[in-house]
């Protein structure tokens, strides 16, 4: 087999897997949050106490951090299929915003979530002694204010979803589910049942699309 053909097939298969895996990871990560069926807004201290000694939640956050690489693959794929269409600029701008948001999402999980696993190695007395410092982190004080850039992720994907729908580049039902899902997935902490619903909608839209990409590569 020609080496370039093999490389292109591998790229397509990896792209298809990204569309399959990323919504599944989000479904798992949101599903393991405590109080899922009792939605209510949470403040910084509530978030800290919820994550304290919750190993399954922290594992979910690790997966989300790694999942950001797949989000970048998805954004680049949409940029590619919109290239040359009337919405090429929207695909490009949306992709850039989504990629920046994905990078900041990885930083967010590293700064606010993975650190909690280190704090869990402390005694309860030591943990509550450093609570002011942890609160400063979760309040996004200092340069951590940049973590609000995470909002670029849903904004960028929203731009791309609208571009896909307006150019008929993506099947209508999948594009609509993508748009609804990306608009809902960024709701505040404590309302993870909405995030879970949004992730499920994206899974319904993207898993068949990912399978389609893989099948086109192996034919």
- Give the pLDDT score at 1: 55
- Give the pLDDT score at 7: 87
Does the pTM exceed 0.85?
yes
For the stretch 85-144, pLDDT in tens is 999 999 999 999 999 999 999 999 988 888 888 999 999 999 999 999 999 999 999 999
- Give the pLDDT score at 113: 83
User: CA–CA separation, 210 vs 12, rounded Å?
Assistant: 9
Q: Which domain holds residue 20?
A: 3-33+40-218
Residues of 68-98 as b/e, b for ≥16 C-beta within 10 angstroms? bebbbbbbebbbeebeebebeebbbbbbebb
- Give the pLDDT score at 188: 83
For the stretch 154-211, pLDDT in tens is 999 999 999 999 999 889 999 999 999 999 988 888 889 999 999 999 999 999 999 9
As for how many domains the chain has, the answer is 1
For the stretch 16-34, pLDDT in tens is 999 999 999 999 999 998 8
């Amino acid at each position: 087999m020609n080496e370039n053909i093999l490389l292109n097939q591998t790229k397509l298969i990896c792209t298809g897997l990204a569309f399959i895996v990323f919504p599944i990871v989000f479904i798992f990560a949101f599903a393991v949050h405590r109080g899922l069926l009792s939605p209510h807004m949470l403040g910084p201290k509530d978030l800290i106490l919820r994550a304290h000694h919750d190993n399954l939640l922290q594992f979910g956050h690790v997966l989300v951090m790694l999942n950001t690489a797949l989000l970048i693959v998805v954004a680049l794929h949409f940029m590619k299929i919109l290239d040359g269409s009337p919405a090429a600029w929207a695909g490009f701008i949306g992709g850039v915003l989504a990629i920046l948001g994905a990078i900041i999402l990885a930083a967010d999980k590293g700064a606010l979530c993975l650190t909690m696993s280190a704090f869990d190695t402390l005694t309860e007395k030591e943990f509550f002694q450093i609570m002011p410092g942890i609160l400063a982190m979760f309040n996004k004080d200092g340069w951590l204010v940049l973590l609000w850039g995470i909002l670029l992720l849903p904004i960028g994907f929203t731009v791309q979803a609208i571009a896909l729908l307006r150019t008929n580049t993506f099947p209508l039902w999948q594009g609509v589910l993508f748009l609804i899902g990306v608009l809902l997935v960024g709701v505040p902490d404590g309302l993870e049942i909405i995030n879970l619903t949004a992730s499920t909608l994206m899974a319904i839209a993207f898993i068949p699309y990912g399978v389609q990409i893989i099948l086109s590569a192996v034919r």
